Amino acid sequence: MKEFWSSRIRNLTPYTPGEQPRGRKFIKLNTNENPYPPSPKVIQAVQAAADDRLKLYPDPDASKLVSVLARTYGVKENQVFVGNGSDEVLAFAFQAFFDPGSTILFPDITYSFYPVYANLFGIQYRTVSLGPDFTIPVEPLLEENDGVVLANPNAPTGIELGQEALRRILEGNPDVAVIVDEAYVDFGGTSALPLIEEYPNLLVVQTMSKSRALAGMRIGFAFGNENLIQGLDCVKNSINSYTMDQLAIVAGVASVEDQGYFAQRCAQVVVTRDRVSERLRELGFIVLPSKSNFIFISHPVVPAKQLFGALREHGILVRYFALPRIDNFLRVTIGSAEDMEVFCATMTKFVENVL
């Protein structure tokens, strides 16, 4: 019953997050969470900050976090924005840079929050079909538009768009905002961050949920021209001035300051990803080249839906999308070495029994 719902949301289909199981214990390879804990320095910092200061409002500008991000990533503080997870940062960006009724472009196979935001904010969109190899084509993104949104590496494919291609897109769209969502860039991708000095229309969005193992703290951030950051601030302060709580700010600062731990854990995920990819290829799987903390896989004989069900029965959760072109693929988060050993053994046994 939607009697009191606004017309804007009455026919809206919201984003569906990955399953968070209750009760039965699963190996969770379905939500792209980091298999390793956050830096011990994060835990120490949060514990130290959990005191009577929680009765006070947090710093609305999250100044300490902005400062450490600027220093670590080599930008100015007025080129940094932080928010309650990159999903919120993206939602603010859609409102800040795209007018209701305008038309933006993004790939047909990508992060499924993009069409949700567009529909929620009254923005029109056209999707650009990925190539047969699931790469993002450049030319269609140069057609007339009011904005471009790209996940890079793309999700759920894990494939990265090269920097030269990205430059072509930026140069072909000088008068509109180009948002590059880099949620997975720390797992072997190349960030577009250095390009913000050349392209004032470029907004680079990142998150601490994946590579920094802070999904539970909800910390997202963006880099861009001062004008873009001011636009994000305007939207934020028109909705909620206190998007970052005290503990999230403290956790973010401690995580960014411990770059050694961050690099070590990212490298572990990459090594495991590449090893698992090779084992699956030996089993006959198609494994798309990934620069993320997940792989996108398909078997030429065994249907993905069947594999999805079999894995679940064996206590392993992966992500299955019943969508055109990818309904025979599974997205598999890279877990710990031990979890991925169980996954590979289960897949091997099942495929061999079927074949």
Mean pLDDT score of the chain, rounded to an integer? 96
Residue 244 lies in a domain: yes
**Is there a single domain that holds both residue 232 and residue 333?**
no
Total number of domains constituting the chain: 2
Strands (E), 13-158: 27-28, 80-83, 103-107, 124-128, 148-151
- Do 304 and 220 fall within a single domain? no
Domain's final residue, options 257, 272, 291? 257
pLDDT tens digits for 295-345? 999 999 999 999 999 999 999 999 999 999 999 999 999 999 999 999 999
Q: Please count the other Cβ atoms lying within 10 Å of the Cβ belonging to residue 293.
A: 26
The answer to whether residues 289 and 243 belong to one domain is no
**Measured CA distances, 316 to 145, 158, 236, 308, 350 (Å):** 42, 20, 39, 9, 13
How sure is the predictor about 352, in pLDDT bands with cuts at 50, 70 and 90?
confident
Q: What single DSSP character describes residue 78?
A: G
Q: What is the pLDDT of residue 344?
A: 97
Same domain, 139 and 225: yes
Please name every residue paired with 161 in a beta bridge, in sequence order, or none if there are none: none
Within 13 Å of residue 155, how many CA atoms lie on the same side as its CB? 22
Among the residue ranges 8-12, 49-53, 77-81, 314-318, the one predicted with the least confidence is 8-12
CATH number at residue 127: 3.40.640.10
Main-chain phi, psi angles of 311, to 5 degrees: -65, -40
Whether 102 and 58 share a structural domain:
yes
b/e per residue 77-93 (b: at least 16 CB within 10 A): eebbbbbbbbbbbbbbb
Note whether residue 79 is domain-resident: yes
How long, in residues, is the chain? 355
Instruction: Provide the terminal-to-terminal Cα distance of the chain, rounded to the nearest Å.
Output: 48
- Candidates 259, 247, 264, 273; CA nearest to 339 is 273
Domain with 289 in it: what CATH number?
A: 3.90.1150.10
Look-up of token digits 């100044």: 63
pLDDT number for residue 355? 67
Give the domain range for residue 240: 40-257
Indicate whether 190 and 114 sit together in one domain: yes
Which of 226, 257, 288 terminates a domain? The answer is: 257
Confidence of residue 354 (pLDDT cuts 50, 70, 90): confident
- State what percent of residues in the chain have pLDDT above 70: 99
Do 330 and 186 share a domain, yes or no? no
| 45 vs 193: CA distance, rounded Å | 28
- The residue from 240, 257, 274 where one domain ends is 257
Query: Is residue 2's pLDDT more than 90?
Result: no
Residue 107: is its pLDDT beyond 90?
yes
Question: What's the pTM value of the predicted model, to 2 decimals?
Answer: 0.96
Distance from C-alpha of 191 to C-alpha of 199, rounded to nearest angstrom:
14
C-beta of residue 307 within 8 angstroms of C-beta of residue 332: no
pLDDT digits (tens, 9 = 90+) for 132-155: 999 999 999 999 999 999 999 999
Q: Are residues 27 and 119 in the same domain?
A: no
Closest CA relative to residue 294, chosen from 176, 143, 174, 189: 189
